[in-house]
Structure formats: structure tokens, C-alpha cells
Structure 1
């Protein structure tokens, strides 16, 4: 199924989409592409905020974009791999039976599936700036991300007999 179709389907039933992704078999290249795509979207979502900040502070935009690129394309994937491994270990302590790959797919897919809200957050940060609107969109993203991630972890870890 195309990624866009899976993104929309995730908002209707995240467990079904994760189940379908895991049924394709363990392929680390697929997990990595999902993660890199999510990180690229988050990097792009930073542009409006960084442009606003550069305009108001008089800083150069290019170094700020370079720092965001370094953070989101090079460091964030490493951190997210470590987070997935830690969560897999915690799930195993509480009776989870999924593999580390399953935990990675659950986390990475949740991150990518919630990315439309990250784009909205970036637009609000860039055009509206700090305030209750930005906090509301950030909270909405966090709740949706946690919903997708926990649903994926349940599908990946506890539904295996």
C-alpha cells in the first residue's frame, strides 16, 4: 500500500497498519526509510520557525538550517534507534514477546504517521509564533504520536502468542 494511504489508515486504526507493516517481514531497510522520511519531514517543518527566528533576531538563516539538518537527519535517527531498543527492553520485562525490529517499526511508523501534525506545528510556529495555539498543536501532536506508538507497541509486542 502507498505510504499516503497507510498514513490516512493509521488515523482510523493504527494497529491494523502496524500489523500490515510487520506482516511484510523484518526488513531493516524498510524501517530505516520510514525513520529517515519522518526525520526529513520534521526537518522541513522547522523551516518556518527558523525563518521567523532569523528574521526577528537578525541571525543568518543558513547556519540555523544547517544545525537543524545535522540534528534531524544525523543525530535524531540514532537517538530514536536507542529509544526503540530501550522500549523493547521495557516491553520484554513486562511480558512483551515482540522483537526489537517490531519495536522499531512501531516507533518509527508512529513518528512518520504523526508527521502531518508536525508540519502544522511548524507552520503555526513560523506564522503565529509562541502562544496557546502553538502549545495546543504541540499537545495534539504529542497525544496522537503516543496513541500511534502505544497502539503499535501493543500490536508488535503483546499480541504475539
Structure 2
């Protein structure tokens, strides 16, 4: 299974991709590890997409610089990059693990029959699947096109919710569910 091909297929057939991912997890001796790698790679790509804004070359540079200004002026570039990298690689995974667990509990209350690892996999895969759109958003930010940045923000949100909710639905169907 090529990850790049599956990422592209996620936009057209997210439920089939999620079934393939769950089948791969079923045969794995460490099913949580694959989802965690998907999450980390997706968050790293999202961090890389923010570098233009952090360096001051992107569209959001003035407002971001104002937020990071202290008594001595703006924070040094290496500090801004380090803090942002720390947040994306160490803080967001914790938040997303909690969110993935919460969505699984809510799905269980609504009648879901899946496993928690598959619910988290749906969330983490959706983040990885939309991460290339974040790179396009970063390029639009460098071009200083606020309309294009807004379009990319909507595309990211729509793509994320389409892939995640479709994957979550498939993950919560349970192992014995009839396959369509």
C-alpha cells in the first residue's frame, strides 16, 4: 500500500481507504504505531507549512509578529520556530489523542461498535491526508493572496471533515459489519 496513492484516494473514497488501513492494522503486532507515525508526519508537514508566516514572508506575518512581541521586541526567529515545532510535535499529539478517544466514546454512546485504535486512526489519517493542502496554503500565504489563503482554509476544513467523518463512520461500524 503506497501512502501517497492512499492519500490521493482518501479524497474520492475515504471509507475504502479506511477499510484498507484497518485491515493493515488487524495484521500488525503494533497497531497503534502506524497511526502515531501518520500523526507525526502530518503534524511535521503542517509545521513546515507555517514557516513562511513565522519568518515574516507570509501573509499572516504582521499579526503573528505582534502576538510574539515581548518587552524587548519580537521574539528571535529561532525561538519562534522552536516553540512552534514543540507545540506541533509534542503538545498537539496529546490533544489529538484525547480528542480521538473522546470521539470514540461519543460514537460508542451513539451505537458504534468499533475499536478505539481505529477511531484514532481515522483522525490521524485525516490529518496526514490534508497536510499537503497546508503546504499549498503556505505557498498562497507567501504570494500574499488573502483570497487564495481563504480558499485554502475552506478546502482544508472541508477535506479534513470529509475524510475524518467518513473514516470514523467506517471505523465505528465494527469488525463484523457488512461491507458495502
Please give the TM-score of this superposition, normalised by the length of structure 2: 0.82
Q: For 2:165 and 2:2, locate their aligned partners in 1 and report how far apart those are by CA, in whole Å.
A: 23
Cα-to-partner distance string for 1:40-82 (whole Å, 9 max, x where unaligned): 111111111111238x956522111111101100101111100
Which runs of no fewer than 5 residues in structure 1 stay unpaired?
Answer: none
* Map of 2:98 onto structure 1: 82
How many residues align structurally? Answer: 159
* Map of 2:135 onto structure 1: 119
Whether the aligned pair in 1 keeps the contact of 2:113 and 2:173 (CA below 8 Å) is yes
Q: For 1:124 and 1:61, locate their aligned partners in 2 and report how far apart those are by CA, in whole Å.
A: 21
Q: Work out which of the two has the higher radius of gyration on C-alpha atoms and give 1 or 2.
A: 2
Whether the aligned pair in 2 keeps the contact of 1:34 and 1:109 (CA below 8 Å) is yes
Q: What's the C-alpha RMSD, in Å, of the aligned pairs?
A: 1.8
Q: Which runs of 4+ in 1 moved over 6 A?
A: none
* Map of 1:132 onto structure 2: 147
Which runs of no fewer than 5 residues in structure 2 stay unpaired?
Answer: 66-73
Please give the TM-score of this superposition, normalised by the length of structure 1: 0.91
The 1:127/1:65 distance shift into structure 2, 3 A limit, reads farther
Task: Give the drift of 1:136.
Answer: 1.7
* Map of 2:166 onto structure 1: 151
